[in-house]
Amino acid sequence: MKIAVLPGDGIGTEIVAEAIRVLDALDLNFEMETALVGGAAYEAHGHPLPEATLKLAKEADAVLFGAVGDWKYDKLDRPLRPEQAILGLRKNLGLFANFRPAICYEQLVDASSLKPELISGLDILIIRELTGDIYFGQPRGRRTAVDGHFPGAEEAFDTMRYSRPEVERIARVAFEAARKRSKRVTSVDKANVLETFQFWKDIVTEVHKDYPDVELDHMYVDNAAMQLVKAPKKFDVIVTGNMFGDILSDEAAMLTGSIGMLPSASLNSSNQGLYEPSHGSAPDIAGKGVANPLATILSAAMMLRFSLNQAEAADRIESAVKHVLASGLRTGDIWSEGTKRVGTREMGDAVVAAITKKTITG
């Protein structure tokens, strides 16, 4: 089992270090190799996704990714910015399906900004299409950009685009995932205004004919944004395009208390995957040792389950996290009155201890 470890920038290095300690504690036979990505790779090699990093990622069974980016790179031309590394990895590895579970742990009900009764027991799955849509369409203005901006330009545009196979395959992923859950899919679009999303809606409806046991409904993205905070438990699986998924999954993150709790998996058709926390590099808290490592640790659990065929080990990590939360330890982002505030390293220590003391079983 070969894992490419790409910590990246900001808190990326701190949180990935904890996830690696947790993986080591499982005593399984992993081969892990680390490489630079994002701003760190730009500084060392002049490119956010160097050839050697891409090669390592392609050859591995799975990629464990931290986060990339920092405000100081905002002046760079877009292709050289750290965030391009993640887009490049998605494209080159064909990682078209992004899974973002939003689960509210009972111990964290109070950390959410929503009323406890709205989120207690929440367990939804957002499936975001990851390699199409406006993020991969033709942009206008790249050639004329100066320091990443467009002084004096009269217009700029990006093109929203989906092809039939792209929508079909993500729809199938969503229906298959729903079959293992409560068998309900909500397809989120903007078909009332955008042609691309009428096309999306038509194809999802067509694919649904192969899944008569799964309930399908369609919702406009503006309504979905509202329903997610009004009655989030009504959802089971949400499937949507790249941009809407980007926004809705961050919104869903806050339902769970903190974006620092939310793992994600991005898979290709052969189950090779990239696993990363849903948050970014958090430059505001980088280097302070206060970042919550749990989203990354839970991403490592998803990696074990989806790409490395180690479901039992994944269960052990998830049980250890629940145990640690139940014991009252909290990083600052999920801290509340009556709990004990700890840093990144102490949180990692506690998860490792829960695994190695074998107080936890899968």
Write down the least CB distance from residue 178 to ligand NAD, Å.
26
88 vs 260, beta carbon nearer ligand NAD? 260
One character per residue 312-351, x = contact with ligand NAD (rule: CB under 6 A)? ---------------------x------------------
185 vs 262, beta carbon nearer ligand NAD? 262
Q: Catalytic residue positions?
A: 135, 190, 222, 246, 250
Segment interacting with ligand NAD, rule: CB under 6 A, options 17-25, 276-284, 317-325, 352-360: 276-284
Residues in region 232-261 near ligand NAD by CB under 6 A? 259-260
Contact between 69 and ligand NAD by CB under 6 A: the answer reads yes
Among positions 13, 292, 299, 310, the unique one binding ligand NAD when judged by CB under 6 A: 292
14 vs 189, beta carbon nearer ligand NAD? 14
Q: What is the DSSP letter of 139?
A: B
Q: What is the rounded distance in angstroms from the CA atom of residue 4 to the CA atom of residue 32?
A: 6
Write down the least CB distance from residue 126 to ligand NAD, Å.
15
186 vs 278, beta carbon nearer ligand NAD? 278
For the stretch 61-91, what's the b/e string if a residue is b when 16 or more beta carbons lie within 10 angstroms of its beta carbon?
A: bbbbbbbbbbeebeebeeeebbbbbbbbbbe
Q: What is the rounded distance in angstroms from the CA atom of residue 66 to the CA atom of residue 52?
A: 18
Pairing of strands 2-8, 62-67: parallel
Among positions 34, 80, 83, 229, the unique one binding ligand NAD when judged by CB under 6 A: 83
Contact between 171 and ligand NAD by CB under 6 A: the answer reads no
Among positions 7, 88, 241, 280, the unique one binding ligand NAD when judged by CB under 6 A: 280
Write down the least CB distance from residue 292 to ligand NAD, Å.
4
**Site size with ligand NAD, rule: CB under 6 A:** 22
Among positions 36, 124, 282, 324, the unique one binding ligand NAD when judged by CB under 6 A: 282
Find the angle CA(359)-CA(273)-CA(47) to the nearest 5 degrees. 115
Find the angle CA(98)-CA(190)-CA(221) to the nearest 5 degrees. 60
102 vs 295, beta carbon nearer ligand NAD? 295
Residue 263: what residue type? Answer: P
Q: What is the rounded distance in angstroms from the CA atom of residue 32 to the CA atom of residue 335?
A: 32
16 vs 119, beta carbon nearer ligand NAD? 16
Segment interacting with ligand NAD, rule: CB under 6 A, options 28-36, 170-178, 191-199, 283-291: 283-291
Whose structure tokens read 């503006």?
222
Find the angle CA(8)-CA(13)-CA(17) to the nearest 5 degrees. 130
68 vs 360, beta carbon nearer ligand NAD? 68
Contact between 274 and ligand NAD by CB under 6 A: the answer reads no
**Contact (Cβ atoms closer than 8 angstroms) between residue 22 and residue 297:** yes
Q: What is the rounded distance in angstroms from the CA atom of residue 217 to the CA atom of residue 205?
A: 9
One character per residue 183-212, x = contact with ligand NAD (rule: CB under 6 A)? ------------------------------
Q: What is the DSSP letter of 334?
A: G
Reduced DSSP (H G I as helix, E B as strand, rest coil) percent helix, strand, coil of the chain, to 5: 45, 20, 35
One character per residue 22-61, x = contact with ligand NAD (rule: CB under 6 A)? ----------------------------------------
Strand residue runs (E) in the chain: 2-8, 31-34, 62-67, 97-103, 123-129, 184-189, 215-220, 237-240, 263-267, 273-277, 329-330, 340-341
Residue 212: what residue type? Answer: P
Furthest C-alpha separation in the chain: 64
Question: Which residues form the interface with ligand NAD (CB under 6 A)?
Answer: 11, 15, 67-70, 83, 86, 259-260, 276, 279-285, 291-292, 295, 333
